[in-house]
Amino acid sequence: FTYSFYVHGKDYVNSLTSEGYALNDPPKVFDGSVDEALLDRPFVECNGENVAVDWVKIAEDGNGVIVRAYEFAGKNASVNISLNEVFGSKKAYLCDMMENIICEIDSETAFKPYEIHTIRFV
């Protein structure tokens, strides 16, 4: 059981979410090697203050990389979500939760309050 206090200002939602992730999911260390391209920047970049990338995985059918992100502050958001170029993806598709493609999207993605997006990069 872990219990924590966090002192915050008036706009606590953004900082509280990131602090909660840091507390509940600490960094993990593994033996092995990493492609040099992954050392300079993360797997996924998201420029939204109130949108969090929850996880990244290989698609169930093996075709592409799946990124799941959600809006956590109860606000509309328009963000750019991009995958590191080491994965070689050219296109992004909005999918349902079962990873079925709904439509192609550009780099900018709109989120409604508390909305979850599943994006397939191919």
The predicted-structure confidence for 5-51, as pLDDT tens digits, reads as follows: 888 777 767 677 778 877 887 777 777 776 666 666 778 889 988 89
Q: How far apart are CA 14 and CA 24, in angstroms?
A: 16
- For residue 36, the one-letter residue type is E
Instruction: Evaluate whether 63 touches 122 at the Cβ level (below 8 Å).
Output: yes
Q: Which pTM does this prediction carry?
A: 0.75
Q: What is the pLDDT of residues 69-81, one digit of tens each?
A: 999 989 999 999 9
Radius of gyration in angstroms for the set of CA atoms belonging to the chain, rounded to a whole number? 16
Q: How far apart are CA 107 and CA 91, in angstroms?
A: 9
List all residues 6 or more positions away from 41 whose beta carbon is below 8 Å from its beta carbon.
84
